[in-house]
Amino acid sequence: MERIETDILVIGAGSGGLSVAAGAVQMGARVVLLESGRMGGDCLNYGCVPSKALLASAKAAHQQAHAAAFGVADQAPQVDPGAVNDHVRDVIAGIEPHDSQERFEELGVRVIREHGLFVSASEVEAGGHVIAARRIVLATGSSPLVPPIPGLDGVPFETNETLFDRRERPEHLLILGGGPIGMEMAQAHARLGSKVTVIEGARALGKDDPEAAALVLDHLRAEGVEIAEGAMAAAVRGKAGAIEIEAEDGRTFRGTHLLVALGRTPNTEGLNLEAAGIETTKAGIKVDAGLRTTNRRVYSIGDIAGGMQFTHAAGYQAGVVIRSILFGLPSKARTAHIPWATYTDPELAQVGLTEAQARDTHGDRLEVARFDYDGNDRARAERRMAGFAKVMMVRGRPVGVTIVGHQAGELIGLWSLVLANNLKMSQVAAMVAPYPTMGELNKRVAGAYFSPRLFESPMVKRVVGFVQRWIP
């Protein structure tokens, strides 16, 4: 049994763990990285990357079939499912070197491809190694949640960990779950030629602004996606090619394939956390504001920490713990400026509070500014007029932003900057965006906030009148 002593042990080579390892080793710390699965974690291999690659194929097919509005004849797309899968694999392969064991070893990280479990408060056993670390970072991520629905274990089904291995088109895909993953995959498969039914126990895209979510859902329904809301699954039965889902209210849904997209569960099993005095909750590992666990030597980031389950959130948290571990400086994780996006078409993006949350929190102090996509000239040129941006403000400072429409995921980044730095709407209004771009939308929503104050104010009119009459 080899004993290794190190400054930092990182368990999990997903986005958060890799960020910690790369940052720490390049700043002079000794780093050991454990990963028993695939380097790059869920995002690279089963999540963000393959799903967006599949959505890109679906977008190409959809554009081919809907080109007449631009003076180009519509063409029925000839989709080759195997070639689509090759495209997805190629995109993953292009990113893999950045997350590879070879790259991290070149940086100076000791990479061990074994499962680790705690044997004490500061020691982890992995294969034939015992690693004693001054600080440990848990970044083992999460896995697809598969609830105990009667009959589910007796039928074949996909999760995000198996879906992207398929090389044939599902004839009729049933999707359990109407969250972001479910809705993205619903639209992608519908555009690539499958019939799709989404079965959601509550409200589809239920965590998002209802008005914005409704716009997305209307578009998906118009593309042929069946979305059944309030349909809590009570039983699953059937076999490959003939699957049936019965809802609690008696509705029955039939299809050829099933995707389970009902959320995520943290990967805490098999770590022997009790040996290290690390407490857990239903959401994941219990952490304080600085992402430190109940063992002061151990930190937890990413999905396993039980907070926002986004790649970019894990990357942000990596920076928080690096500051604390390497420099001994107080560092706390914030969430108000962390955006998220659903990459349907149209996209839906959010940062900070939704309008309903802001009204509950701020009451009468809340103001809402809004600008619709149809007022943006670039959106009109590209026939992308469906959508809006709205900003929730208190005393001229944004506390939340919702954008739904073309490139919403790109546009929301500015508002993360605004919330992160507690900026005012006047500072957003002062920016200049090139014309014509979708980026003008952000400036125009700021203008929508100031326009009534300038154009409808009797005081402003009196001042202007005085200047025009009396100032030479």
Query: Among 338-352, 400-414, 441-455, which stretch is predicted with the lowest mean pLDDT?
Result: 441-455
183 is known to lie in a ligand binding site: yes
Query: 242-274 pLDDT, tens per residue?
Result: 999 999 999 999 999 999 999 999 999 999 999
Query: 132-159 pLDDT, tens per residue?
Result: 999 999 999 999 999 999 999 999 999 9
Query: Among 269-278, 326-335, 338-347, 395-404, which stretch is predicted with the lowest mean pLDDT?
Result: 326-335
226 is known to lie in a ligand binding site: no
Q: What is the pLDDT of residue 461?
A: 77
- Across the range 92-117, mean pLDDT stands at 97
206 is known to lie in a ligand binding site: no
Q: What is the pLDDT of residue 427?
A: 96
52 is known to lie in a ligand binding site: yes
472 is known to lie in a ligand binding site: no
Q: What is the pLDDT of residue 454?
A: 64
- Across the range 162-167, mean pLDDT stands at 94
Q: What is the pLDDT of residue 455?
A: 66
Question: Looking at domain 152-262, what is its CATH homologous superfamily?
Answer: FAD/NAD(P)-binding domain (3.50.50.60)
123 is known to lie in a ligand binding site: no
Q: Predicted confidence band at 471 (pLDDT cuts at 50, 70, 90)?
A: confident
Residue 388 has pLDDT above 80, yes or no: yes
168 is known to lie in a ligand binding site: no
Question: Contact at 8 Å (CB) between 160 and 47?
Answer: yes
241 is known to lie in a ligand binding site: no
CATH architecture classification, 2-39+100-144+265-327:
3-Layer(bba) Sandwich (3.50)
140 is known to lie in a ligand binding site: yes
Residue 463 has pLDDT above 90, yes or no: no
Domain boundaries, the chain: 2-39+100-144+265-327, 152-262, 340-455
- Across the range 42-62, mean pLDDT stands at 96
Three state DSSP letters for the chain: CEEEEEEEEEECCCHHHHHHHHHHHHCCCCEEEECCCCCCHHHHHCCHHHHHHHHHHHHHHHHHHCCHHHCCCCCCCCCCHHHHHHHHHHHHHHHHHHHCHHHHHHHCCEEECCCEEECCCCEEEECCEEEEEEEEEECCCEEECCCCCCCHHHCCCECHHHHCCCCCCCCEEEEECCCHHHHHHHHHHHHCCCEEEEECCCCCCCCCCHHHHHHHHHHHHHCCCEEECCCCEEEEEEECCEEEEEECCCCEEEECEEEECCCEEECCCCCCHHHHCCCECCCCECCCCCCECCCCCEEECHHHHCCCCCHHHHHHHHHHHHHHHHHCCCCCCCCCCCCEEECCCCEEEEEECCHHHHHHHHHHHEEEEEEEHHHCHHHHHCCCCCCEEEEEEECCEEEEEEEEECCHHHHHHHHHHHHHCCCCHHHHHCCCCCCCCCCHHHHHHHHHHHHHHHHCCHHHHHHHHHHHHHCC
- Across the range 319-332, mean pLDDT stands at 94
Q: What is the pLDDT of residue 249?
A: 95
Q: What is the pLDDT of residue 462?
A: 81
Please state, rounded to an integer, the average pLDDT across all residues of the chain: 96
142 is known to lie in a ligand binding site: yes
424 is known to lie in a ligand binding site: no
193 is known to lie in a ligand binding site: no
Query: Are domains 2-39+100-144+265-327 and 340-455 of this chain identical in fold?
Result: no
Q: What is the CATH number of domain 340-455?
A: 3.30.390.30
